[in-house]
Structure 1
Amino acid sequence: MDTKLLSANAIVPQYNRNTLIPRMVHLGFGAFHRAHQAVYADILAQEHGSDWGYCEINLIGGEQQIADLKQQDNLYSVAEMSADAWQCRVVGVVKQALHAQVDGLDEIFRALTRPEVAIVSITITEKGYCHSPATGQLQLEHPLIIQDLADPLRPQSAVGVIVAALAKRRTAGLPAFSVMSCDNMPENGHVTRNVITAYAKALDPQLAAWIESQVTFPSTMVDRIVPAVTPGTLAQIAQQTGVQDSAAVACEPFRQWVIEDNFVAGRPAWEKAGAELVSDVLPFEEMKLRMLNGSHSFLAYLGYLAGYQHISDCMQDEHYVNAARHLMLAEQAPTLNTPGTNLEKYADSLLERYRNTALKHRTWQIAMDGTQKLPQRMLDSVRWHLAHSSDFACLALGIAGWMRYVGGKDEQRQPIDISDPLREEIAQRVANSAEGEPRVLALLQMTSVFGRDLPDNPRFVNAVTSAYLALLARGPKPRWLACWLVEPAFSGCGGLDQPMRVDLSARFQRIIC
């Protein structure tokens, strides 16, 4: 990329890229990492003289992303987009870009066993951990894990690659690195530790003991809305910057990163770029997962079924806005432990971000991989409400929306392209169940998603079944929500009063009738 051709308002690297050291290796060079973690590193290099650089690696898929980056001297642009302003930054902190199937595993391991590597970070989406979302434990029967345990020197999964790299470092007498998850999961560091150590124990108990004593797995909370890149996005960015950039990415101006300060071999001074370094990330993770990601999924399933292509389209419907706000404040907020945080203000700020018409964040994209997302975005909150005998009508409706979505047909009977690692199991359960209550009961038997407790809870089953039947009877456009949606009461300090306690089945039955 020739940065001299960029428009005058673009931020370009003013630092000497030759002085950067690839102390961080990142697995999963997707749009989110490009617009989030790499931007923090670029700000540190640009404004604070940091020499922390990245080696970027894709293991499965994304060959073109790596090829595009190499062709551009490892430079790419990030466009922060709002309805009334654009700002473009050219990120220059990438020192090397590799793909396992193009460059080979030997080259991947050479990168991971450099003595200077201090952090291996990952954005591989929830399904990349080869774990059960309901339990957080490694699935030893997962096809990739079975393959990697049979041939541990030529692994394919991120779990297998990280363990093999740590084994090589141990054999060579090199220090361990920290493994930092940046994916949307509660206690993502604990999940990463669980799957890494479980895999290592199945392979070599002594290696597992070394990993447990030498490696840290800091948890993080990441927040920035980054839609999937489309040809239209790239054309818009080229029009704004004056440069064709195949590796470019667009995002909202907002960004947040909360990091557990627990690193064995040092870290960048991320706090200088606006990150928060804390001892406990969990309250931040749960707040974001349940209020932002939970409402996103709620809008994605119902909005897609209603014919809305983008989240900003849903925000043009006041009924969706009211429903999403109710979900966040009446049903998600009471489950959180965030002292000092005004959750009403947080919810309103999320809705304002959703209204950003410059971002074409597709409902289909957010609806992907629902089996991996539902447990932390909705089901953990449902369990809280069941324990407290409180109202979870919107959560039940969101779960029912997922069930209608994975049925494979929208309201116009057009096919839906279901993208999910459990797609085959979902399709089988849909094909072998009649529409209505049998469909709900069949999908609830997916224990890797719902566990065994929820399908055995009559209140939960009745609530989801009633919501599903209401969707069948009235459709996904939630104008009928007004007959049962009750705004919560707020105290002056931003807290919430006790939510109303109602019979959800009776409520939905009234809607159907």
Structure 2
Amino acid sequence: MKTLNYETLKQSNYEGYLLEDAPVRVLQFGEGNFMRGFVDYFIDQMNEKAGFDTKVTLVQPISQGAFRLKDIINEQEGLYTLYLQGFQDGQEVREKRVISAVKNCLNAYEDWNEVLDMAKKPDLRFITCNTTEAGIAYDPTCQFADAPAASYPAKLTQFLFARFQQQLPGFIILACELIDNNGKELEKCVLQHAKDWNLGEDFIQWIQKENVFCSTLVDRIVTGYPRAEADAMNAENGYVDNTLDTGEIFGVWVIEGPQSLRDELPFEKAGLPIIVTDDHKPYKEQKVRILNGAHTSMVLGAFLAGQTIVRDCMYDPTISAYMNEAIYNEIIPTLSLSKEDCEQFAKAVTERFKNPFIDHELLAISLNSTAKWKARVLPSLLGYVDKFHKLPKALTTSLASYIAFYRGKELDADGLKAVNPVTKQPYTIKDDADVLEFFAANSDKPNAQLVSLVLGNTSFWGQDLNAIEGLHDAVTSALDTIDNEGAMAAMQACLNKGE
């Protein structure tokens, strides 16, 4: 079979949407599966449905290894096939689209002069990026004369200075890294480099006045190259696509920036799930506490009840009802967005958990559950207590499930070993060393004493949770139920009406 490119599609009489020629208006730092399955997909949709007429040049921000993705992308003239699949509006959905928004790919280390030449293009208006959570960090060892500088913020500073020298307008910069206030943190790093490199006050003012650094919230699981199914997909398509990409059908992009972005980026005209807001934090709170909080509060108890993947949990009447109790009656009442918005998001979350194309293992989600419970569940528990002056049953039980799951005894280099009470199969708990050492040392203690020690471990929670009235006794009672009747019984108890 021939490799995917424009000529291959023409020869096959491909009838889908394609944009072969258009000005490059987006420079994207990050060529990976996520950005191609999220940002570039949205750009492709805007091209088709709103006349955006824009191409994207990708920049691989790290040195290439043996697998030269840049070469593969360029051989395919930027084209790739994206499959979005999942559960939507009660139906199984699988969509296929050839994405033609990408023009080419450069590597920052092999093609740095070409990257800098992009700064001279008047049409260039947007910069998007996803350089991983560690990508937005200030590195004082980076120097202006480096070609290129090692860190992404330093590379961006070099690029912005090249633009400044052309006396051209600045950019709308859309940061997609998974850190808080990603756009603002990126701007801080850029300004620090400009100052440290003595690039001048005029340049610093140009950065601040001519560029808009947008913090954004991205939400889509992109599962990437479908290694097991790739041959069958290529056979069905009639061409070889070495950059196949897959992801879930759900996707939301929340952008914190001026409302004028609506004029420059025609999201609404294209009917895309993209929100421009003055403050993205309530949307992040919603995602973290409903989507991630539901995962964290449910999966440990479900695992102890004998389940192994998220999808199966959604078809268990007790586990799904327990999760809904936590979401609708305990988490949503504590959030700042409207009840209607939150319930709509929660409905989508349930469908995402049912995705028949993703086997999301509970043990994989359990990784580092201590920090996850603190960030994702504890704020809802505290907010509920503060608002209603009583304990939320499901979230309280999730804390008991966390303790039960972490009661391992044998600690080795791989983690803390424990045994599932239902399946009798061993499993490994993975977390920070101090967490594992704590449980290895205390797991044999009576439940009431263990609960007191866990709640009182301020290094876990940032506060002594024993101070919350009734929490110690409620968690101990739930832990006793897990031990004597099983995790399923403890979840069922949260569904019983009355106090």
Instruction: With the length of structure 2 as denominator, give the TM-score of the two structures.
Output: 0.74
Give the aligned partner of residue 427 of structure 1.
433
Question: Cα offset for 1:471?
Answer: 10
Deviations 1:424-477 (A, max 9, x none): xx235534762445995898527xxx5xxx335544799599869939964998
Shift of the 148–76 alpha-carbon distance from structure 1 to 2, 3 Å rule, reads same
Question: 2 CA distance for matches of 1:332 and 1:189?
Answer: 28
- Name the amino acid aligned to 1:34: R
Selected match of 1:159 from 153, 156, 167: 153
- Residue 129 of structure 2 aligns to which amino acid in structure 1? I
Q: How many residues align?
A: 461
Kept in 1: contact 2:112–2:147 (CA 8 A): no
Distance 1:386 1:198 in 2: 42
Larger Rg: 2
Shift of 1:24: 1.2
* Deviation, structure 1 residue 351: 0.9
Letter of the 1:413 partner, please give it. P
Q: CA deviation at 1:88?
A: 0.9
Deviation at 1:113, TM superposition (A): 5.9
Indicate if the aligned counterparts of 2:314 and 2:353 stay in contact, CA closer than 8 A: yes
Q: Which residue of 2 aligns with 1:270?
A: 267
**Mapped contact 2:458–2:464 kept (Cα < 8 A):** no
Q: Say which is worse superposed, 337-346 or 256-265, in terms of deviation.
A: 256-265
* Secondary structure of 1:289's aligned partner: helix
Question: Greater strand percent: which structure?
Answer: 2
User: What does 1:75-474 align with in structure 2 at a 5 Å threshold?
Assistant: 75-82=79-86, 84-101=92-109, 103-111=110-118, 114-130=121-137, 145-148=139-142, 154-184=148-178, 187-197=181-191, 206=201, 208=204, 210-235=206-231, 237-238=233-234, 240-262=236-258, 267-275=264-272, 276-280=274-278, 281-299=280-298, 310-339=309-338, 341=340, 343-363=342-362, 377-382=376-381, 384-385=383-384, 387-388=386-387, 389=389, 391=391, 394-395=394-395, 401=402, 404=406, 407-409=415-417, 411=419, 412-415=425-428, 426-427=432-433, 430-431=436-437, 434-436=441-443, 437=450, 440=454, 445=459, 454-456=462-464, 458-459=466-467, 470=479, 474=483
Tell me the SS of whatever aligns to 2:358: coil
3-state SS of paired residue (1:128): coil
More divergent stretch after superposition (213-222 vs 459-468): 459-468
- Asked if structure 2 preserves the Cα contact closer than 8 Å seen for 1:227 and 1:360, the reply is no
CA contact (8 A) 1:333 1:343 kept: yes
Q: Secondary structure at the match of 2:264?
A: coil
Pair 85,157 (structure 1): closer, same or farther in 2 beyond 3 Å: same
Which residue of structure 1 lines up, in the alignment, with residue 38 of structure 2? Answer: 36
SS in 2 for 1:217: strand
Pairwise CA distance, 1:210 = 4.3
- Change in Cα spacing, 1:109 to 1:284, as seen in structure 2 (3 Å) is same
Q: Which amino acid aligns with 2:97?
A: R
Contact 1:58 1:99 in 2 (8 A): yes
* Distance in 2 between residues matched to 1:287 and 1:210, nearest whole Å: 35
Q: Which amino acid aligns with 1:245?
A: D
Match of 2:447 in 1: none
For residue 353 of structure 1, report the CA deviation from its aligned partner: 2.7
Measure, in 2, the Cα distance between the counterparts of 1:95 and 1:347: 37
Equivalent residues of 2:391, 2:471 under 8 A apart:
no
* Cα distance in 2 for residues equivalent to 1:160 and 1:461: 49
State the distance in 1 between where 2:35 and 2:156 align: 18
Query: In 1, Cα distance between the equivalents of 2:210 and 2:187?
Result: 12
Report if the CA contact (8 A) 1:127-1:372 is conserved: no
Once the two structures are TM-superposed, the CA of residue 479 in structure 1 deviates from its matched residue by 0.7
Report the residue type matching 2:208 in the other structure. E
CA separation of 1:213 and 1:99: change in aligned 2, threshold 3 A: same
Uncovered stretches (5+) of structure 2, i.e. residues with no partner: 409-413, 420-424, 444-449
Residue 248 of structure 1: CA displacement? 1.4
Provide the C-alpha distance between the structure 2 equivalents of 1:201 and 1:383, rounded to a whole number of angstroms. 42
Could you tell me how far apart the structure 2 residues matched to 1:158 and 1:459 are? 44
Do the aligned partners of residues 57 and 299 (structure 1) sit closer, same or farther apart at CA in structure 2, a change above 3 Å counting?
Answer: farther
Instruction: State the identity %.
Output: 22
1:222 partner letter? V
Q: How far 1:247 moved relative to its partner?
A: 1.4
Call closer, same or farther: CA 1:89–1:336 in 2, change over 3 Å.
same
TM-score (normalised: structure 1): 0.72
C-alpha distance in 2 between matches for 1:307 and 1:381? 26
The aligned amino acid for 2:319 is: Y
Q: Given residue 479 of structure 1, which amino acid in structure 2 is its aligned partner?
A: M
Cα distance in 2 for partners of 1:219, 1:109 equals: 24
